[in-house]
């Protein structure tokens, strides 16, 4: 079932498209739902995407597709909502950006201090999937063979879990962080670079905490 705010946002987008044929901006969505920030709108859209009411269109910049609308069942005994498909997908141009927290620099070589301070980075909302995100500036060249260069901005989805082979932010002994491939090697955690000039780093599991996994990159020219 959708929360009240999720339902309100989906209905607002649908109604605006029906009235004007033009999708609302993130600012208009924020005002319509009486939210304090556009981050709240992003979280609602991410939740709708996870529930398959909306999907992001990878081949259309900053666009969303409404897949279906909720229809409350009339039977008093029903405890869930039925989903009524719409005949034709409706496109929503989410022509806005998100302000992600920018937490210092992270090493793509040897570990360095991370989360040193906080500013923000403007990121097109269409680049982000569901979940909470933050950004880190990459320092070093140990991930160049994965296309991650010094000075890039790594967009990180916050999570404390990692699967084998994912690129993660690993916090080492609670004060240093690095961006590496996550592997398991027997009872140890192995953090692999993507540069043949660097050696893997091995740690006991209690020395490493996962802070997130790579969701995307921004590069400024």
Distance (Å, whole) CA 206 – CA 13: 46
Q: Characterize the bridge pairing of strands 97-107 and 133-139.
A: parallel
Distance (Å, whole) CA 50 – CA 157: 15
Q: Residue 192 in contact with residue 180, Cβ under 8 Å?
A: yes
Q: Residue 201 in contact with residue 180, Cβ under 8 Å?
A: yes
SS3 35: coil
Task: Please give the positions annotated as active site.
Answer: 142, 180
How many residues does the structure list for the chain?
Answer: 221
Distance (Å, whole) CA 162 – CA 25: 34
């Amino acid at each position: 079932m959708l929360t009240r705010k999720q339902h309100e946002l989906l209905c607002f987008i649908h109604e605006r498209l029906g009235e004007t044929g033009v999708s609302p901006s993130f600012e208009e969505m924020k005002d319509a739902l009486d939210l304090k920030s556009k981050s709240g709108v992003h979280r609602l859209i991410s939740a709708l995407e996870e529930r398959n009411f909306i999907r992001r269109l990878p081949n259309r910049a900053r666009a969303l597709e409404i897949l279906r609308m909720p229809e409350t069942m009339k039977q008093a005994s029903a405890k869930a909502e039925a989903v009524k498909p719409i005949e034709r997908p409706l496109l929503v141009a989410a022509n806005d950006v998100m302000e992600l927290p920018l937490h210092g620099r992270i090493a793509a070589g040897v570990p360095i201090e991370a989360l040193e301070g906080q500013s923000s980075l403007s990121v097109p909302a269409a680049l982000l999937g569901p979940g909470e995100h933050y950004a880190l500036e990459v320092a070093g060249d140990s991930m160049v063979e994965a296309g991650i260069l010094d000075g890039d901005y790594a967009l990180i989805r916050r999570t404390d879990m990692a699967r084998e082979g994912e690129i993660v932010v690993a916090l080492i002994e609670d004060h240093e962080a690095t961006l590496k491939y996550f592997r398991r090697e027997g009872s140890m955690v192995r953090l692999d670079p993507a540069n043949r000039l660097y050696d893997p780093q091995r740690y006991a599991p209690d020395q490493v905490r996962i802070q997130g996994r790579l969701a995307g990159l921004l590069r400024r020219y």
